[in-house]
Structure 1
Amino acid sequence: MWGERLVETKRCYFTLITLDDYYDVKSLYTNNKVRKYLGGAIKEEKFDRIFPCMVQKATHTWVVKEKKTEQFIGLITLDRHHNGIDTEVSYLLSPRQWGKGYACEVVKEMITFAFENLKLPRLVAETQTANEASCYLLEKLGMNHEKTVTRFGAEQRIYAIYPEKG
């Protein structure tokens, strides 16, 4: 199961995160551009403490790689939302991959996977209102803005999508 391509898109594949992904994942969490709307970059020492936990609970934490080159693109997760009820899709992509359509491709496939394989009744995503690119992406993928909350000292939009009927 480890290293197995569990989900694939036209250009990418997802594998469960492993300890071997340390440097790639660290490059996301310690990057100010990537973490701009997530409270800023995490210090290396803190990342070293949280990374083993990420791997240990990796049931729905995937590393995304480009099929042709095997190049690291980012990370996508399905995890419990802050409300303790819903499942949230979240993603972090390497800045080298921004603007190439990977976010749309990857998140769209994860929505499909969540509904078809996991049979989830709904899926949410939360992003800072200031993160216009992420808001646009979620809306483009058919997620509806349900409410706005203040969390982590910033205004957040909560989006939701339901499986298509029929």
Structure 2
Amino acid sequence: MHGTNRCKLLKIQETDYEEVKKLYTDERVRQFLGGIVEEQIYRAKFTDMCDVNNKGLYWVIRQKDSDQFIGLVSLSLHHDSISTEISYQLLPGWWGCGYGTEVAQGIINYAFKELGLKRVVAETQTANKASCQMLKKVGMSLEETIERFGAEQSIFSIMIAAATEE
């Protein structure tokens, strides 16, 4: 995955540690993701993301023109241990500008076209209205709501036939 119209998507590397850490220590980013993550826990998560044996795919999102760090997006195994889940975190300065939608659409298309997946899911807190809206915008449909992590979660999905072209 190389990018979208406005973003470069680069496989996560050790050198991304400090920038990715900004996502895990920002209260606004972490509001619906269980809160700020302590250094030791973050270090273990980051090491796992960079591990070539990890079955997940993790990309750092950078603005094409400026190379500025925007956030992180991934495809990994969902909590159901069956489905592939798209996850994303963007720094607040990039919210509301369409970057999340653009990147999510690009990753979903990549999952279908390059990885041959037939279905992708996303899970977000139901209270995270902006995330729920963005998932609908990229063609995902609400499949179910469940209680997990002490809050109601909305599980969205999209099948290959419903995917839109980039």
TM-score interval (norm. to shorter): over 0.9
Cα distance in 1 for partners of 2:45, 2:88 equals 17
The CA deviation at 1:78 is 0.1
Cα distance in 2 for partners of 1:8, 1:54 equals 19
2:153: which partner in 1? 156
Paired positions, count: 160
TM score, norm. by length of structure 2? 0.93
Percent of matched pairs sharing the same residue: 46
2:37: which partner in 1? 42
1:137: which partner in 2? 134
Contact kept, 8 Å, 1:17 with 1:58, in 2: the verdict is no
The CA deviation at 1:59 is 5.2
Structure 1 unaligned blocks of 5 or more: 1-5
Which residue identity is paired with 2:13?
Answer: T
Q: Which runs of 4+ in 1 moved over 3 A?
A: none
Q: Secondary structure at the match of 2:157?
A: strand
2:69: which partner in 1? 72
Which residue identity is paired with 1:140?
Answer: K
The CA deviation at 1:84 is 0.5
Cα distance in 1 for partners of 2:132, 2:146 equals 14
Cα distance in 1 for partners of 2:47, 2:82 equals 25
TM score, norm. by length of structure 1? 0.93
The CA deviation at 1:164 is 1.9
Q: Secondary structure at the match of 1:34?
A: helix
RMSD across aligned C-alpha pairs, in angstroms?
A: 1.2
Contact kept, 8 Å, 2:56 with 2:77, in 1: the verdict is no
